[in-house]
Structure 1
Amino acid sequence: MKQKSKVKNMALCALFTALTAVGAFIRIPVPVVPFTLQFLFTMLAGLLLGGKLGAVSVGLYAFLGLAGLPIFAEGGGLWYFLKPSFGYIIGFVIGSYVTGKMTEKPEGLTMGRILAANFTGLAIVYGAGMVYYYVICNYVINTPIGLWPLFLYCFLLAVPGDICLCFVAAVLARRLKPVIANM
């Protein structure tokens, strides 16, 4: 039985790694930071797999992209560390972990608790993304960006879609969590 659980966990981690990669190519054009479905799949990884396995699946996605597979929204490779948008990928890993940890206990798992976890994950993703963007632009690649343009392009224009994805992920998690638990 324990072997079956390990195989199930590995398969689910691989599935969410693949879904996150596919989500990078489902794009809605927004200036500066492309809007993709990566956020949806990274939050679902945390919600459905738990903090540790969710972060493992998203971390594997980040590792594969840095290793050279073109699975990030704008390619892949070790040079991606210098892309201002790489901070969002770091935020995906941390956000998936925190979201998963907040919803691991099945008792009292209400829609409100799932949404609170999703919005916490959203804050982590945008916090990490915007800080990284600012630091890389202003101190590494010498393409300065001010705080207002950063806030406008990296938050205001991008966050409405991800807020909607928080609700989509909550509904999906509520329905899928019992199914995955009974696999």
Structure 2
Amino acid sequence: MKKMKTKDLVLIALFAALTAIGAQLSIPIGPVPITIQSLFCLLSALILGAKGGALSQILYVTMGFIGLPVFSNGQAGLTFALRPTFGFVIGFIACAYVAGTISTKLNKTVLNYFLSSLAGTVIIYLFGIIFFYFNMKYLVHKDLNFYTILKLTTIPFLPGDLLKCIVASLVAVPVSLRAKKEGYI
């Protein structure tokens, strides 16, 4: 196992902090607010790779669980895990790992980073939709049909998430190439 250097830890902490900031920039449109958290999650994956990206998102979730107000709208604490939207937050960890894994196996091009970002975004949606469904059915005791769940958790967010994939791809290519050249990653 490769030993982590101080600069790795700093970059992991930086992306955790950026994800926390992205959570505070939110537009509530229902049970799932529009935020730019996923943009920073994708950037962590594309720039730091699978391990670093996933660790940054684990750190982000841990910060929220210990009481730092890093979740959307300044929320914090272990009870956040009971919210119907918590699956999206857990999906950030899996997203970073999957997108980071895919992106490191491909050439550093905008198209490859875009495809990696799309795969990661699908992972976020999978975790979010599944958790939302089980939360609503077993904790809230509302039996919603699949289309209603998609209307609440996915459909309104698709254009914005597609834009985030594009932005992440356009930003990550020059940043990752420069960071590698300078020895940061």
TM-score normalised per structure 1: 0.93
Matches within 5 A, 1:142-161: 142-161=141-160
What SS class does the counterpart of residue 50 from structure 1 fall into?
helix
Q: CA deviation at 1:128?
A: 0.6
**1:81 partnered with 2:42:** no
Partner of 2:31: 32
Partner of 1:101: 101
Partner of 1:8: 7
Matches within 5 A, 1:105-120: 105=105, 108-120=107-119
Q: Deviations 1:99-158 (Å, cap 9, x if unpaired)?
A: 1111124x6222221111000001000111011000001112323322221111111012
Partner of 1:172: 171
Query: Which has the larger displacement, 17-26 or 73-82?
Result: 73-82
- Opposite residue 155 of structure 1, the aligned amino acid is T
Partner of 1:23: 22
What SS class does the counterpart of residue 108 from structure 2 fall into?
coil
Matches within 5 A, 1:121-132: 121-132=120-131
- CA–CA distance in structure 2, aligned partners of residues 165 and 171 of structure 1: 10
- Whether the aligned pair in 2 keeps the contact of 1:82 and 1:141 (CA below 8 Å) is no
Gaps of 5+ in 2: none
What SS class does the counterpart of residue 69 from structure 1 fall into?
coil
Q: Deviations 1:86-107 (Å, cap 9, x if unpaired)?
A: 00011111001111111124x6
- CA–CA distance in structure 1, aligned partners of residues 178 and 19 of structure 2: 20
Q: Deviations 1:141-176 (Å, cap 9, x if unpaired)?
A: 323322221111111012211110000000000110
- CA–CA distance in structure 2, aligned partners of residues 17 and 89 of structure 1: 12
Partner of 1:65: 64
Q: CA deviation at 1:81?
A: 1.2
- Whether the aligned pair in 2 keeps the contact of 1:30 and 1:158 (CA below 8 Å) is no
- CA–CA distance in structure 1, aligned partners of residues 174 and 90 of structure 2: 28
Q: CA deviation at 1:83?
A: 0.3
